[in-house]
């Protein structure tokens, strides 16, 4: 370097922050898990382990040390908890450590790394001694390093004794005693342990803080059942009340469900009310769609008069709670033309050039009975606050789970704000995103705070489709923020597979939903294998419950209630079925048969599902089993049958009219 260049560098002013950063030799990069460079938090449920990795390295050959720091913020910044990071393998520069998400709410984590001068010195001394080199000066250097560690230790009032211990060792290293004795002290394991506890971190590299949102356990595991309470009464010609609908709850609880999801329970508008099968012709007794919210009886904080009163709703919720069920309410942020807000706040809606309010459309579908909000209106702040108030209203009535209707048609920033506001007061509240839309949009909504997300599972039927999709959901970075909820059907979605596959199709989809996903759901009538569409090529149910009362005979033959009960029993009994991250697919020699397993976080429980995807024909073949034993027994959790299998490939056969799959409890892996 020329003298002129050296002078130029010396004279150039270096901003303090930049100079400070340049003085830090250790590089920390590629921290995982990480969502968009820390823009969004990762998600975990309480008691989950958060495994953090990072690429950490330094120029030259000095020894690097690093810790993972984490803390639960709870609105206040408390002290950091530290966990030493370990090098995964020599030559990789990949370091890792983990912490436990011990409380609901916000957690932070970061990586701190530095050059450890003492450990670098100790390593070099050991190498020189092994090669017969003189180390007298190095011992004096080490004395200073240990003395510095003693000074840092002395600043901690609880470590005075250790500071004295280190000071005495520092003096011995510098003394004129035999070199061999001092070398032995330099390489002493206890000295290394104690000195390393007090490193010089004045030039440590501290990574950007990453955030984690920790939910209660139900965010990661649960079985949902969707029902229309107005159909759950003794009279098929009128709406059931909440008091009458409560009689349906023991049956649902008996099937093993955890959450009962209710479509909107608010007053339904009269203007442009839809008739049976979404007809524009309306009879005097047609109840209309619950998603056309608002009438002279009130809006989003009122109860549809046919269902009763708010007190009746409270009684329904309490009965559900007594049975071990949670109630999930639908947040459908839209209005019927009769909603009080249409009159009181016309500025919250979009208008046509002639001044009339625009109704909802999703061409070619038209929803004349629904007015969507304008989330960017001139008074958007007033609208947002009103909708926050609606959410708080139901939380105050002890609702802690919400299914959100079509969130992708509302401003993304609104959801990030609303969920953040709610979680600041009620961190146990869960939000399910009902967004069957483009992948990027679904992912962004999940990043924005939704606890769970609907998925494309509903339309994934072949082995290749299922393997590809669930490999993405459980092994890519998506696993850190998008929790899938696998609904097998909805009031809007009756797939062609279910329409044409009969009872075996319902059995297959139930097995897949309940075992591929830690969270899954069905819509009422699935257990009866209801499969009639309104028209060929349509996914709409005939006589859709969205537009009329449906009175069902729950004791009718041909249903799959017993299978649903067994699947839910297995899910509750086996921790391996309560998580998604350990999902692994296994080879089969028949593409009509899919096989996969899950292992619990502690490795003590392992279950394997094998499902016939063909609802029409008997399928058979061999399945590769992930058990490293010559012979072993497996028990089918669906019927308690025990089989003796062997290492490697095993034969299976499925007759759709007898059995559509196995759910096998496998021996746990050997330690």
Task: Map residue 362 onto helix, strand or coil.
Answer: strand
What CA–CA distances, in Å, run from 436 to 275, 392, 433, 440, 451? 25, 26, 9, 11, 16
Condensed to tens digits (0 to 9), the pLDDT of residues 62-109 reads: 999 999 999 998 756 789 999 999 999 988 999 999 999 989 999 999
Query: How many C-beta atoms lie closer than 10 Å to residue 548's C-beta?
Result: 20
CATH topology for 584-666 is: Immunoglobulin-like (2.60.40)
Q: Is 370 helix (H, G, I), strand (E, B) or coil?
A: coil
- CA–CA separation, 541 and 9 (whole Å): 75
> What global pTM score does this model have?
0.92
Which among 48, 138, 312, 405 is annotated as catalytic? Answer: 405
Q: Which one, of 195, 197, 23, 203, lies nearest residue 118 by Cα?
A: 195
What is the average pLDDT across 455-473?
Answer: 98
Average pLDDT, the chain: 93
The rounded distance, in Å, linking the Cα atoms of 157 and 164 is 12
Integer Cα distance of 55 and 29 in angstroms: 5
> What confidence score (pLDDT) does residue 136 get?
84
Predicted pLDDT of residue 138: 86
Confidence class for position 21, pLDDT limits 50, 70, 90: low
Query: What is the per-residue pLDDT across 533-569, written as a single tens digit (0 to 9) for each?
Result: 999 999 999 999 999 999 999 999 999 999 999 999 9
Per this entry, what is the length of the chain? 671
Cβ–Cβ under 8 Å, residues 292 and 268: yes
Q: How many helices (H) and strands (E) does the chain have?
A: 17, 30
State the pLDDT at residue 670.
Answer: 67
Question: One of 434, 527, 580, 636 is an active-site residue; which one?
Answer: 434
Residue 4 has pLDDT above 70, yes or no: no
Separation in Å, CA 539 to CA 278, 279, 459, 464, 544: 13, 16, 11, 23, 11
Instruction: Check residue 87 and give left, alpha or beta (phi > 0: left; psi -120 to 50: alpha).
Output: beta
Half-sphere exposure of 555 (CA within 13 A, CB side): 0
Residues 6+ apart with CB under 8 A from 100: 47, 48, 49, 50
Catalytic annotation present for 405: yes
Whether the predicted pLDDT of 14 surpasses 60: no
Query: Could you confirm whether 434 is annotated as catalytic?
Result: yes
Q: Would the pLDDT of 5 be above 60?
A: no
Tell me, yes or no, if the two domains 1-115+210-215 and 584-666 fold the same way.
yes
Q: Which fold has domain 1-115+210-215?
A: Immunoglobulin-like (2.60.40)
Tokens of residue 232, six digits? 């759950």
Question: Which tens digits make up the pLDDT trace of 508-541?
Answer: 999 999 999 999 999 999 999 999 999 999 999 9
Q: Is the pLDDT of residue 243 over 70?
A: yes
- As a whole number, mean pLDDT of residues 303-326 equals 98
Domain ranges of the chain: 1-115+210-215, 117-198, 584-666
CATH number of 117-198: 1.20.58.80
For residue 290, the model assigns a pLDDT of 97
Cα gap 125→131, rounded to integer Å: 10
């Amino acid at each position: 370097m020329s003298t002129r260049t050296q002078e130029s560098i010396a004279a150039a002013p270096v901003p303090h922050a930049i100079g400070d950063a340049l003085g830090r030799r250790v590089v920390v990069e590629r921290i995982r898990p990480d969502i968009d460079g820390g823009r969004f938090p990762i998600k975990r449920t309480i008691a989950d382990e958060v495994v953090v990795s990072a690429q950490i390295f330094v120029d030259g050959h000095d020894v690097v040390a690093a810790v993972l720091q984490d803390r639960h913020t709870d609105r206040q910044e408390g002290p950091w908890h530290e966990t030493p990071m370990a090098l995964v393998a020599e030559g990789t520069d990949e370091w890792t450590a983990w912490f436990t998400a011990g409380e609901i709410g916000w957690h932070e984590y970061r990586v701190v790394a530095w050059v450890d001068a003492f450990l670098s010195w100790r390593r070099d001394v050991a190498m020189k001694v092994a090669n017969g080199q003189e180390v007298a000066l190095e011992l004096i250097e080490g004395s200073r390093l240990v003395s510095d560690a003693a000074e840092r230790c002395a600043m901690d009032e609880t470590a005075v004794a250790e500071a004295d211990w280190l000071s005495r060792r520092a003096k011995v290293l510098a003394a004129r005693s035999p070199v061999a004795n001092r070398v032995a002290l330099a390489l002493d394991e206890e000295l290394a342990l104690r000195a390393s506890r007090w490193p010089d971190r004045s030039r440590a590299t501290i990574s950007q803080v990453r955030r984690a949102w920790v939910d209660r356990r139900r965010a990661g595991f649960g079985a949902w059942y969707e029902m229309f309470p107005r159909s759950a009464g003794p009279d098929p010609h009128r709406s059931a009340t909440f008091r009458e609908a409560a009689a349906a709850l023991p049956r649902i609880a008996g099937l093993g469900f955890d959450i009962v999801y209710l479509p909107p329970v608010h007053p339904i508008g009269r203007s442009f009310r839809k008739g049976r099968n979404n007809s524009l012709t309306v009879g005097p007794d047609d109840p209309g769609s619950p998603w056309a919210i608002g009438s002279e009886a009130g809006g989003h904080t009122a109860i549809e008069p046919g269902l009763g009163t708010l007190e009746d709703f409270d009684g329904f919720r309490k009965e559900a709670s007594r049975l071990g069920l949670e109630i999930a309410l639908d947040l459908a942020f839209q209005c019927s033309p009769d909603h009080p807000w249409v009159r009181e706040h016309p500025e919250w809606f979009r208008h046509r050039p002639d001044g009339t309010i625009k109704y909802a459309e999703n061409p070619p579908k038209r929803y004349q009975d629904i007015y969507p909000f304008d989330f960017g209106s001139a008074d958007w702040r007033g609208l947002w606050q009103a909708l926050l108030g609606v959410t708080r209203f139901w939380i105050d009535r002890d609702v802690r789970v919400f299914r959100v209707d079509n969130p992708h048609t509302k401003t993304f920033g609104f959801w990030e704000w609303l969920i953040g506001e709610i979680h600041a007061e009620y961190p146990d509240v869960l939000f399910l995103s009902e967004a069957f839309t483009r992948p990027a949009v679904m992912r962004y909504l999940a990043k924005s705070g939704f606890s769970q997300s609907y998925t494309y599972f509903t339309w994934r039927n072949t082995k290749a489709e299922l393997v590809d999709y669930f490999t993405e959901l459980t092994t890519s970075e998506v696993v850190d923020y998008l929790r899938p909820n696998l609904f097998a059907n909805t009031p809007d979605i009756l797939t062609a597979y279910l329409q044409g596959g009969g009872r075996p199709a319902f059995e297959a989809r139930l097995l897949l939903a309940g075992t591929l996903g830690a969270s899954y759901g069905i819509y009422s009538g699935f257990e009866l294998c209801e499969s009639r569409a309104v028209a060929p090529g349509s996914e709409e149910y005939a006589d859709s419950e969205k537009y009329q009362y449906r009175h069902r005979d729950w004791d009718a033959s041909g249903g799959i209630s017993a299978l649903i009960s067994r699947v839910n029993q297995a899910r509750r009994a086996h921790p391996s079925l309560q998580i998604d991250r350990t999902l692994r697919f296994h080879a089969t020699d028949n593409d009509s048969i899919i096989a996969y397993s899950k292992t619990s976080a502690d490795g003590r429980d392992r279950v394997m599902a094998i499902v016939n995807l063909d609802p029409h024909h008997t399928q058979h073949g061999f399945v590769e089993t992930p058990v490293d034993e010559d012979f072993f027994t497996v028990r089918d959790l669906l019927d308690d049958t025990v089989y003796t299998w062997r290492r490697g490939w095993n034969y299976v056969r499925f007759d759709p009219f007898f059995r559509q799959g196995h759910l096998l409890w496998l021996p746990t892996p050997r330690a």
